[in-house]
Copies of this chain bind each other. A is one copy, B any other.
Amino acid sequence: MTAPSSKRDANRRGQGRRRGNRPERSDRSAGAIAQPAWKPVTYHVAPTEILVPDAIERIHQAGLAILQEIGIKVLGQDARDAYAAAGFDVDDTSELVRFDSTGLMETLATIPAEFSLRARNPQKNLRIGGKHAAFCSVGGPAYCMDLEQGRRRGTYKEMCDFIRLVQSLDILHQEGGGGFEALDLPADTRHLDLFLAQATLMDKNWVPWNMGTEQTIDALTMGAMMMAESVETLAEKDPLFVGVVNTNSPLQLDIPMAEGLMTLAAHGQVAIITPFTLAGAMAPITLAGTLAQQHAEAMAGLALTQIIRPGVPAMYGAFSSNVDMRTGSPAFGTPEYTQAAQISGQLARRLGVPLRSSNTTAANAPDAQAAYESMMSLWGAMGGQANIIKHAAGWVGGGLTASYEKLIIDAEMLQMMAAQCEPPEVSDATLALDAIRDVGPAGHYFGTEHTLARYEDAFYTPLVSNWDNYETWLEGGSETAERKANRVWKQLLGEYEKPPIDAGIEEALNDFVARRKRGEAV
């Protein structure tokens, strides 16, 4: 995968030392926001294995036992019929589906360990699974928030700005679903406006909404139009979409989610089966029990993808956290969350299925708490070697709010996480014995040839961080990270350039949305 070749991208500061294609200094637009060039993330270290293999096996076996002995309640007749046709034990009265462990493991065995995900710009295609990771922006919140206006119901115009920012931030490999809902639009057609914005304002891969068959088909239709393809042949190529399928924990799969799952899978698209297992509320208060339940629910959903279309890519979604037992509020980015993310990596690898994790926080403002809870989430996710990190940028307030400033602060954290994943070069040139000899004891390296040849791109350049000394920082107005982030997103939005799109495709997408809103057959 190479860096996108657009003119705008060439203006950015690349991490030349790591990529071997250091851009010339003159290429940079004066004053433009400097970012490392687009680059997928690759894990080079071993995953964090906090549990010994025997303990992982016990959780896995507990997950199997839950599905064999208790089963999962599946509300949709279509989904139950599919399970029954595959030979699993379905009781239409109780709506319970039970799974013999051997049959279940055989069913799961067809899930690919890796797959590719296409974007409108093929240079932004993604590889998912194995040692590959992609950062995906926040999706799902009901509210938006910024420093000036505080938390509020977001509009379509604001949502489009959020999407433009996601497009502009090269560290974000994938867009996660609009950031927040455009609550000024009618609820029943809002998804069409979202898909239109995703398809036309960006050229990255994007995550659609997939609640129920109709919404999912709309996504597939517009995705196919965007690629100048047809829905019928989508499954013949690499998938365009990952869609999130939450189980209704404990142990229930509802109709809209099952419909979304089956529609995605039938068309060769990727369902991320994500149990929403909050320990102490929808799952046992013990982490082992919560993970056993998560594992059971994930396996049940994953099995349905393979029943619908054997071999279709699917993902293990990990979202276990805990509630505050005093208040019932969900907690995020806690030590338990971090461990759950790491252990979920072990469980997903047990199945050989790509993993999704998240960047979460309960903080209601982009302050120190938001940063340290997000960092706990990110290190957990990346220690678990998650292949997609959802909500990687912009999430605050337990996922109820998308913050423009947090989007930028998270982008900084993601840039740092990506940079620290790349091992430094160890060679004669970088070991620098000649430079050390030339400088000698008590000298300094500022003006040496070794330094001058490398100083432009030697180090990570921050997006938000202020490294000034105290006096300079004070003179500059004692700007906090939140206020700096506010300036950065506004500048980025000003610098946004809409990626090129075929005029016929854009017209067709607009036309489709207009006709669907009028209730016409499409």
Flag if A364 contacts B478 (CB, 8 Å).
yes
Flag if A45 contacts B50 (CB, 8 Å).
yes
A369 to chain B, nearest CB (A): 4
Flag if B279 contacts A481 (CB, 8 Å).
no
The verdict on A336 contacting B279 (CB below 8 Å), with A288-B431, A293-B436, A367-B368 known, is no
Flag if A368 contacts B70 (CB, 8 Å).
no
Flag if A441 contacts B372 (CB, 8 Å).
no
| Chain B CB within 8 A of A514 CB | no
Q: Chain A, 326-351, contact with B by CB distance < 8 Å: what is the 0/1 string?
A: 01111100111011000100000000
Please measure, in the bound complex, the distance between the C-alpha atom of A286 and the C-alpha atom of B285, giving whole angstroms.
48
Flag if B96 contacts A455 (CB, 8 Å).
no
Please measure, in the bound complex, the distance between the C-alpha atom of A481 and the C-alpha atom of B151, giving whole angstroms.
18
The verdict on A324 contacting B375 (CB below 8 Å), with A426-B51, A468-B329, A480-B367 known, is no
From B55, B329, B366, A426 is in contact (CB under 8 Å) with B55
The verdict on A441 contacting B368 (CB below 8 Å), with A285-B450, A329-B467, A427-B288 known, is no
Flag if A66 contacts B427 (CB, 8 Å).
no
Taking the full assembly, how many copies of this chain does it contain? 2
Please measure, in the bound complex, the distance between the C-alpha atom of A69 and the C-alpha atom of B433, giving whole angstroms.
10
| Chain B CB within 8 A of A494 CB | no
| Chain B CB within 8 A of A371 CB | yes
Q: In the complex, which residues of chain B have a beta carbon less than 8 angstroms from the beta carbon of A425?
A: 286, 288
Instruction: Please give the number of chain A residues whose Cβ is less than 8 angstroms from any Cβ of chain B in the complex.
Output: 126
Please measure, in the bound complex, the distance between the C-alpha atom of A446 and the C-alpha atom of B329, giving whole angstroms.
12
Q: Chain A, 443-486, contact with B by CB distance < 8 Å: what is the 0/1 string?
A: 11110001100111011101011111110011000101110010
Q: List the interface of chain A (C-beta within 8 A of B).
A: 17, 44-46, 48-52, 55, 58-59, 62, 65-66, 69-73, 96, 143, 151, 248, 250-252, 279-289, 292-293, 322, 324-325, 327-331, 334-336, 338-339, 343, 362-376, 379-380, 397-398, 400-401, 409, 412-413, 416-417, 419-420, 423-427, 429-433, 435-437, 439-446, 450-451, 454-456, 458-460, 462, 464-470, 473-474, 478, 480-482, 485
Given A250-B440, A335-B417, 6 new contacts (CB under 8 A): A73-B442, A285-B450, A335-B416, A368-B409, A369-B465, A372-B409
